[in-house]
Amino acid sequence: MFINGEWVLRDDLKVINPYTLETIGNITSLSRKETKEAIKIAEEHKSVMKNLPPSTRYSILMNIASEIQKNKEKLAKIISVDAGKPIRQSIIEVDRTIGTFKFAAFYAKELRGETIPLENGIILTKREPVGLIGAITPFNFPLNLVAHKVAPAIATGNSLVLHPSSKAPMAAIELTKIIEKVLKSKNVPLGVFNLLTGMGDVVGDEIVKNDKINMVSFTGSVEVGESITKNAGFKKITLELGGNNPMIVLKDGDIKKAVKSCVRGKFLNSGQVCISVGRVLVEDEVADEFIKGVIEETKKLKVGNPLDRETDIGALITPESAERVENLINQSVEEGGKILYGGKREKSVVYPTIMDVNHDNILSKIEIFAPVLPIIRIKDMDEALHYANNTKYGLHAGVFTNDINKAFKLADELEYGGVLINNSPTFRRDNMPFGGIKRSGMGREGVKYAVEEMSEIKTIIINNIQ
Ligand code: NAP
């Protein structure tokens, strides 16, 4: 709906506040034909971006960061009413987004190559933009995960079409207004950046299949990610997908710290975080102490309106998502799982829930994406390792131990993109390599690594230098 510098504003789709269930706005839902036209325009602007000097790309990114800073409270409020995220966490998301743009500004000036000596000549490498990037983003970090695609795309000189989730599109729309202002101030033709709102199975699907797109940069569910691997054809793809992230607590670990870390890592954004604690695997000898601590700590969490500064747990993205979770809890109980705390749902809100389950229980096997914590007792480290790896997912794993040998063994043998020692899996810095293996993804984000994914190495070989 922001295409070639024009806003296309229609009231096709309602945007709902997941906590109050009130309509907070309407958005345009682009047709496949309109999406194709927008992609064509973005393609025609590839050379504009490629030829922008690094210093211009740097100042565009720094100016976007400073505009976000000026609009911090407004953006945080938008995230909270659109995605149900508690306001204190939304403010942190906006702060991180500022950092993401600043990191990208640095890399705009650091797109370096190598030289390789040759008899009577030299080999040079340089990084060039891939061309036109199709970015598709999820609802759960509706600003910073957009930034993780837009900022490195600008740093590397790519033009872009962006499809934000129709479940929470408002932060991306506000960011687009900022980008429009900054690009205008630099006299950059606006067709380099296009925001395509609408339904994922229309707009997203067209982005994935369209031959003019050179790279699809996707963050979202494993299911959609798998469909992209089948539909994208001959284009570059990066996939940042879901997880069922184990947190292993061994008897020699610091149990008090493990408790705090687990509760934070499970209940952040009501469990709607790709690196949320998926399941705890705790050694038998310390399981009772750990569970008691987790229940006490969880009792302190305040459930309420995301706009209230005291709130720790807001709403899931839709009432249907909360209903799905309620059904999962019921299924888990039918399979022998015990509710140790919580278990209640009201509209889109699922109250923090702690479950005692075994490895075969439904909650041990899937990505729950909600404030429900399955705890599984294990007899030792080898059993923990076996079950931690016994999954199709491979995003993050956390380990609590004070035994350096066990820490290194687990770091080596856990089949995950990231292993956290003495932390929950729920840790990310925006400049670190981030991504999963197995069904959790392909490629890496974290600005420097996205810059590498979004650029190609060109090799120039110069012969016969006299
Ligand atoms: P989702 O349902 O997969 O949607 C992600 C995006 O894909 C949305 O923009 C969606 O649009 C679009 N989409 C839907 N169908 C499509 C299709 N057929 N072709 C192309 N695009 C399509 O995921 P979500 O529910 O928004 O987000 C939650 C998931 O994202 C979880 O699994 C979570 O673990 C994962 N995630 C991963 C990371 C990571 O970095 N690894 C980070 C955050 C979230 P509509 O919303 O308009 O349908």
Contact status, residue 165 vs residue 115, Cβ threshold 8 Å: no
Domain ranges, ordered by start, for the chain = 2-241+437-463, 245-421
Evaluate: CB of 221 within 6 angstroms of ligand 1: yes
CATH superfamily of the 245-421 domain: Aldehyde Dehydrogenase; Chain A, domain 2 (3.40.309.10)
Q: What is the pLDDT of residues 313-360, one digit of tens each?
A: 999 999 999 999 999 999 999 999 999 999 999 999 999 999 999 999
Strands 193-195, 159-163: pairing is parallel
Pocket flag, ligand 1, residue 382 (CB < 6 Å): no
> Are 363 and 385 in contact, with CB atoms under 8 Å apart?
no
Give yes or no for residue 29 CB within 6 A of ligand 1: no
Return the CATH fold of 2-241+437-463: Aldehyde Dehydrogenase; Chain A, domain 1 (3.40.605)
Q: Which atom of ligand 1 is nearest to the CA of 240?
A: 41
Return the number of other C-beta atoms located less than 10 Å from residue 409's C-beta: 16
Atom of ligand 1 nearest to the CA of 148: 40
Residue 307 φ then ψ, to 5°: -80, -15
The residue assigned the tokens 């009792």 is 299
CA dihedral 227, 323, 246, 373 (to 10 degrees): 170
Query: Can you tell me whether residue 61 is helix, strand or coil?
Result: helix
Average pLDDT over residues 415-434: 98
- Give me 24's structure tokens: 């907070």
Report whether pLDDT(127) > 80.
Answer: yes
pLDDT of residue 465: 81
pLDDT at 81: 98
Say whether pLDDT at 466 is over 90.
no
Look up the pTM and report it.
Answer: 0.98
Average pLDDT over residues 91-117: 97
Asked about 262 being catalytic, the answer comes back as: no
Task: With beta carbons less than 8 A apart as the criterion, state whether 127 and 456 touch.
Answer: yes
Catalytic residue list contains 240: yes
* Ligand 1 proximity of 271 Cβ (cutoff 6 Å): no
Question: What's the pLDDT band for 464 if we cut at 50, 70, 90?
Answer: confident
Pocket test for ligand 1, best of 201, 207, 321 (most atoms within 8 A of CB): 201
CA distance 213 to 232: 9
Contacts of 319 (CB under 8 A, 6+ apart): 18, 21, 347, 348
Q: What percent of the chain has pLDDT over 70?
A: 100
- Give the pLDDT confidence of 164-215 residue by residue, as tens digits: 999 999 999 999 999 999 999 999 999 999 999 999 999 999 999 999 999 9
